[in-house]
Copies of this chain bind each other. A is one copy, B any other.
């Protein structure tokens, strides 16, 4: 048997404690599976005294994660501090510069600094593992970088944020308002006290930028991800979606179009019959479309101590087994810099919900605006729900360019008879 792999963990939150627990409870299994012992020899966190339900007594304690990262006693550094920059990034850079492989669950850091970190890993000849950064326990990084390696990926998309998926599932079941469902999610621990990172789509955007880089062999480009959250979705929309044969999901989608790499995160109406429509609650799912393999779908828990620890440990086992691959599947120098396709060029179908004055002539005004922008309507339905003086108008379109759609929507929003900001949700025929 080879020597023990000596692990230093920076950050002992839910995931860090989960990794310590997994490595302790499955120690013998892992020795069998990788021929050497994976031992946590050092830890660092903010609060040394906190009870985490794990025994860290035998591990060296570092107040400073940067010192842990370069400690001669540590073979590999696990970064679970979080945050785009700051101490997380500094620790990873320090570890790589010291020639130590790094494993991280930090999606924000990889999305923003993945290329420069990959360069540092390459220069040092060590691994940078981030399986835990995308879709929690689902081994999607390995699938894209190894399992589907023979394919040119044509599209990758998925449900990348469990908080949003839980909220959208709950909205459609309970019919309660967004704020109430969010509060309940917070109470259950499915949403953070400050939920904006999740519900504004930022977390999903980080993950999508990483998936895009892997799928298309391109530099991660988080700034090019069009990002829209879910806080404008109402129970009315989930009801109309169901009537129309759709379910609302926050998706991240990436594909290479004639205008460049299109990366977008926003609520989508997906057909009830699409496999991804069935992914409910806090589960995540990633679908890849490869030219030889066709559609593959991977689903599982996207967050939580156990699933994320499972992903972190898979990276550690790769390192213990001596498996090392380029961070994004090809050497950094070979990563392409793809132009970003803007949403103005996006072509898709749309669902629009308007709250209008319930009087004759409104439909004529709305359809005139659509005609002027050359938006082709598929269906136009007026619902006289109990909205005080107003009524709901729901329309769906055929495929149109997004700039045309937005132009029509601006005209419609300006009509005196339209009472609220129109709600637009993109329809994806997956």
Contacts and interface: CB of A to CB of B under 8 A. Distances in A.
Interface of A: 18, 22, 26, 29-30, 32-35, 131, 137-139, 142-143, 146-152, 217, 275, 278-279, 290-301, 306-307, 309-311, 313-314, 317-318, 321, 323, 325, 329-331, 334
A293 B307 contact: yes
B321 A325 contact: yes
Contacts of A22: 150, 292
Number of copies: 2
Contact of A139 (B143, B217, B323): B143
Nearest to A18: B292
A310 B139 contact: no
A132 to B, nearest CB: 11
A146 B295 contact: no
Contact of A292 (B148, B292, B307): B307
Contacts of A278: 275, 278
Contact of A300 (B34, B279, B297): B297
A31 to B, nearest CB: 10
A150 B132 CA distance: 13
Given A33-B330, A143-B147, A147-B143, A300 B296 contact: yes
Nearest to A312: B150
A150 B275 contact: no
A216 to B, nearest CB: 11
Given A278-B275, A334-B32, A300 B306 contact: no
Given A29-B152, A291-B306, A295-B301, 7 more contacts: A35-B331, A137-B148, A137-B294, A142-B142, A292-B313, A293-B301, A297-B300
A296 B284 CA distance: 10
A323 B127 CA distance: 14
A330 B330 CA distance: 29
B26 A150 contact: yes
A142 B275 CA distance: 23
A30 to B, nearest CB: 7
B294 A306 contact: yes
